[in-house]
Structure 1
Amino acid sequence: MAQKQWYKGAVIYQVYPRSFQDTNGDGIGDIKGIIDRIDYIKSLGVDAIWVSPFFKSPMKDFGYDISDYRDIDPLFGNLDDFDELIAQAHQRDIKIIIDQVLSHTSDQHQWFLDSREDKTNDKADWYVWADAKPDGTQPNNWLSIFGGPAWQWEPRRGQYYLHNFFAEQPDLNFHNPEVRKAVLDNVEFWLKKGVDGFRLDAINFCYHDAQLRDNPAKPPEKRQGRGFSEDNPYAFQYHYYNNTQPENLSFMQDIRALLNKYPGTVALGEISSEDSLATMAEYTSGGDKLHMGYSFELLTNDYSAEYIRTTVSTLEQRMTEGWPCWAFSNHDVERVASRWSKDNTINPQQCKMLTALLASLRGSVCMYQGEELGLGEAEVEFEDLQDPYGITFWPNFKGRDGCRTPMPWDATDPEQAGFSTVKPWLPVGDAHKAVAVSAQDQDKDSILNAYREFMAWRKDKDVLLEGDIEFLNTQEPVLAFYRTLGDVKMLCAFNLSADTSELTLSDPVSSQHTEISHHTADLNNNTVTLPGFGCFYATLN
């Protein structure tokens, strides 16, 4: 048998460093904080840690605007700290995956400081520059995700530069082979450091249409946001030309070829395109591009069995060679415990069920810090906002601060919940303090302990880690599917509502069906009675 690839079915725990644990008393989390909490992460039964950006940065987008790809921002520590994090994680058989933000840099990166000076310097063609139209307006109609045109005037060159995100994040010109080589050299720097893989931020944004063609308008009924506010003008266009260009496929092959030199390392691509499922399939095809694809398709407000079934089934039909990765929460969207709740009321049973559901889909899993506690979206007052995205679109869209508030560790600390000894960069959510790790550790029925118990149970279930998936045609609010590997066939059923529901099975179920603690269900004559937010696992005869 072929050796099992570690990332298949892996649970990847996303750490947002500035909000995880502060060890030096500046109100911002750091790498030593991750090290200090590494045994907690180990207790969750996860396979890898995805560490969000910690590189040198002016922090205009909290680290996703990088000014030095090969050094660590002093806010988070230094390279020795990172070496220690890798060593401590590897001692515990935990992989380390880091963000790589390749499509753009900070406007304070030396490459851009050189490029903007004139049209003849060595870096002149390293970014996307274009002349103004005869009337002085932007080169085309492309828009920034964060509001307004995607073009910023630079008086030194007398040209506009492209920024798909904030103006402080100029886009690199991947049509230039020197850029591609330099970017890959930066990636290899961290491979030599011993990282186990990369989460590639906005990886389909690396190339732009060389002809700078206008994006066509999108009719109002199709303006559905994926990770951005639906009243954002960005939703008014089909983004056919500012991202997801065919040339990008060869760059995916370059990334894979580099990783192949470091056996066991993997690439997880974040993809947001007009058809993200199709792009995920394309970017993971052929065994010579990305290992895994990840998108915003389950980070939406649609919490229905039909939507989840259709989304996953569609990807299954298209992604015949690659491997999916699913998430319900991350640092860019409202926390799932709030987003999929009723009246913004956190239901512990629903949180337990959602963990089981996510970790039962075919694919790998990204779990955002705090999901194991059932944290909901924190309320952040306007005067406390840090995210310029939220400040721009307030009050219709409050930005990303509500999901980025500090991790609550100690319920006996009424101020900072054990995150810091000083006022943190964002306030600790008031509702979060009562469900801090220390409180849930002591409660055998807590969301945290249910999370640990489920992950420990799942770890040796190869059928859940690598098996095929086949959905049953169930009625709302029940979602059910089979996972099959060899001669093992497991039924997984979930009640997405707070009311009792029933599922009648056509296939016989063994009397030794498996029940997950805290998610009990009754079986009688092949009819499963699922309590509110219950789930059911059974081995078929």
Structure 2
Amino acid sequence: MARKRWANVNALYQIYPRSFMDSNDDGVGDLRGVIDRLAYIKSGEKSLGIDAIWFSPFYPSPQADMGYDVSEYCDINPMFGSLDDFRELIEKAHASGIKVMVDFVPNHTSDQHPWFLESQSSRDNDKSDFYTWRDARADGSPPNNWLSIFGGSAWQWNESRQQYYLHTFLKEQPDLNWDNPAVRQEMKRVLKFWLDLGVDGFRADAVRWISKDPHQRDDLLAAHCPDEQSVRSFDDLQHKYSRFWENLFPYLRELTDVVASYDDRIMIFEDYPDGNYGTQEQYLGFYGVNPDVSMPFNFEGLGAKFSAESFSTMVNEFQGMINPDIHTPVYCFSNHDQARIATRYGGTEQARLVALMQLTLPGLPVVYYGDEIGMTNAPIQFDEIQDKSVFSHGNDESVGRDPERTPMQWTGEKNAGFSQVKPWLPVDPISKKVNVDVEQHDPDSFFALYQRLLKLRSQYEILRMGEYEPIGDAGDDIFAYARWIGKEQHVFVALNFSKETRRVTLPHAGFILCSTHPVDYPAIGANGVVTLRPYEGVLVECSEHRLQRDN
């Protein structure tokens, strides 16, 4: 099968390797488990039908932050398999028409990485300046007031060097010194290694921190914080100097130049909305790095209130600020760090509505494994916690990010068909009813909805690359928009965010291509009026113009 170009990819599917499929019955998901499930992703008779997959980190790591503490960038953690397994996975994925993206962690390494072990050994070795080291203040305290996202100071004392090193995340994750050209060369070498192996792209983690104020001035107090003594948490400071500094985009350009030197490869930047910067400045800055091969995630929906006003404002403002001819939107509504869609937005019906919205918006949508069957955050007891970042806060009530990382629910059998032994995280009890096996045989299931939308997205260019236009005055609690290509092709989307029935008048009459309930479509009158049930959404083809199928 010919490899599909990124411009024609219908969606990107995030796989959390520990939780997708265990092939060797050790309780942990692995690469061979993914190979065994490629038919589910794309090529099988009852497949999801998705064109690209992205792996969360699978590198060698002590697992202080579940793989985001990398101890070797150019290898596979034995718990997940081997480089030969990954080569086989790429070969079989490409043969099935699936692109493969991997996570890239540029800001920090593990404190067990050979670079850090050498760097900490003295102040005059070859790697001494690979990380950010500073002397203590006169009283022995850290060099400045910068904070770790996971709690406390971002500086950790090191006895070997008699200095502090910087860690934006856990103390086991020292920050690399990107102002050192040798570090940037190593990072580019890492990209080339994986590109030569055949990967189709990278998700670049936590990129805003790779450029920091070289003078390392104290971050400013947040507006609500009267003095330094009142600083208790990360949000008590404005992080003006500890991230997003002036070399961020030039450094990212160096990386994307490597990506651009290979055919049809991309890099997606992880960056969340930041109150210290204007939304437009932030997005257009990332898009300006190298729009031919790179783009930022749009995570604004993660914090959006579940309402037509909230989502329409977010989408309309974003679509209004970008140039659709050169910028690719990447809408993402859940991931390994955030509550699942069905949990965050209040229920399964609301999650169906968000799914229809996401998969009818322009660009490259990102689907988190399990969202396509309506998985929710699973209950985790305190003694079952695996996310060690919880304990860095000293919080004995939080269970961290584990609830959205539980094993994929394949069947209603023991351990949800994920493994024959006890999984690394408990399986959600709801898996008895919510699982792939059940939903593949239910024409009105979450799976059927995603399958239908992804098929339409593959078939019709208009859903991937058509123009976007909001439909104003659609009615209370309604978010409506049009997608079009020239004068020949038009579709309309109407989304009811209310728990009550709503009537919507579309610009033209038409017929429904998909509804949030694939077996029970509402009727559309000759005048374009459609009655939407609570939390119902529809994708409508304009009857005056027939769509052109790509395949």
Q: Partner of 2:74: helix, strand, or coil?
A: strand
Residue correspondence of structure 1 range 381-420 to structure 2 within 5 A? 381-391=381-391, 392=393, 394=395, 397-413=398-414, 416-420=415-419
* Shift in Å, 1:263: 0.5
CA distance in 2, matches of 1:315, 1:278: 12
CA distance in 2, matches of 1:288, 1:536: 32
Match of 2:303 in 1: 300
Match of 1:99 in 2: 103
Residue correspondence of structure 1 range 106-505 to structure 2 within 5 A? 106-220=110-224, 233-272=233-272, 274=274, 275=277, 278-285=281-288, 287=290, 291-300=294-303, 302-320=305-323, 321-341=326-346, 346-347=347-348, 349-391=349-391, 392=393, 394=395, 397-413=398-414, 416-473=415-472, 474-487=474-487, 488-505=489-506
CA-atom RMSD, angstroms? Answer: 2.1
CA distance in 1, matches of 2:293, 2:212: 20
Tell whether the 8 Å contact from 2:10 to 2:458 is kept in structure 1 after alignment. Answer: no
Matched, 1:61 2:62: no
The one-letter amino acid paired with 1:173 is: N
The one-letter amino acid paired with 2:385 is: L
Matching residue within 530, 533, 536 for 1:534: 536
* Shift in Å, 1:468: 2.0
Structure 1 11/203 Cα, relative in aligned 2: closer, same or farther at 3 Å? same
* Shift in Å, 1:334: 0.9
* Shift in Å, 1:412: 2.6
* Shift in Å, 1:157: 1.0
Structure 1 530/91 Cα, relative in aligned 2: closer, same or farther at 3 Å? same
CA distance in 2, matches of 1:405, 1:322: 34
CA distance in 2, matches of 1:124, 1:534: 59
* Shift in Å, 1:50: 0.3
The one-letter amino acid paired with 2:221 is: A
CA distance in 1, matches of 2:246, 2:322: 18
Question: Which stretch has the larger CA shift, 488-497 or 18-27?
Answer: 488-497
The one-letter amino acid paired with 2:442 is: D
Tell whether the 8 Å contact from 2:471 to 2:482 is kept in structure 1 after alignment. Answer: yes
* Shift in Å, 1:510: 3.3
Tell whether the 8 Å contact from 1:144 to 1:150 is kept in structure 2 after alignment. Answer: yes
CA distance in 2, matches of 1:244, 1:318: 21
Tell whether the 8 Å contact from 1:197 to 1:265 is kept in structure 2 after alignment. Answer: yes
The C-alpha deviation readout for 1:470-513, integer Å capped at 9, x for no partner, is: 223345421111112222232111112332112234x3x13445
The one-letter amino acid paired with 1:279 is: Q
* Shift in Å, 1:389: 2.5
Match of 2:548 in 1: none
Tell whether the 8 Å contact from 1:220 to 1:236 is kept in structure 2 after alignment. Answer: yes
Question: Which stretch has the larger CA shift, 298-307 or 387-396?
Answer: 387-396
Q: Partner of 1:121: helix, strand, or coil?
A: coil
* Shift in Å, 1:180: 0.3
Q: Partner of 1:379: helix, strand, or coil?
A: coil
Residue correspondence of structure 1 range 57-96 to structure 2 within 5 A? 57-96=61-100
CA distance in 2, matches of 1:519, 1:188: 49
CA distance in 2, matches of 1:290, 1:210: 29
Count matched residues: 521
* Shift in Å, 1:110: 0.4
Structure 1 519/102 Cα, relative in aligned 2: closer, same or farther at 3 Å? farther
* Shift in Å, 1:371: 0.3
CA distance in 2, matches of 1:429, 1:7: 36
The C-alpha deviation readout for 1:147-172, integer Å capped at 9, x for no partner, is: 11111111111111111111111110
* Shift in Å, 1:537: 2.2
Q: Partner of 1:299: helix, strand, or coil?
A: helix
Q: Partner of 1:246: helix, strand, or coil?
A: coil
The one-letter amino acid paired with 2:388 is: P
* Shift in Å, 1:36: 0.6
CA distance in 1, matches of 2:383, 2:29: 21
Structure 1 333/393 Cα, relative in aligned 2: closer, same or farther at 3 Å? farther
Match of 1:50 in 2: 54
Tell whether the 8 Å contact from 1:409 to 1:418 is kept in structure 2 after alignment. Answer: yes
Structure 1 202/518 Cα, relative in aligned 2: closer, same or farther at 3 Å? farther
The C-alpha deviation readout for 1:378-418, integer Å capped at 9, x for no partner, is: 010111011123343645543100000111112132xx111
The C-alpha deviation readout for 1:267-303, integer Å capped at 9, x for no partner, is: 1111135246532321112646752211431112622
Unmatched tracts of structure 2, length 5 or more? 226-230, 545-551
CA distance in 1, matches of 2:510, 2:304: 37
The one-letter amino acid paired with 1:234 is: F
CA distance in 1, matches of 2:264, 2:167: 34
CA distance in 2, matches of 1:363, 1:122: 44
The one-letter amino acid paired with 2:6 is: W
Q: Partner of 1:324: helix, strand, or coil?
A: coil
The one-letter amino acid paired with 1:255 is: L
CA distance in 2, matches of 1:289, 1:397: 41
Structure 1 62/179 Cα, relative in aligned 2: closer, same or farther at 3 Å? same
Structure 1 475/533 Cα, relative in aligned 2: closer, same or farther at 3 Å? same
CA distance in 2, matches of 1:82, 1:139: 43
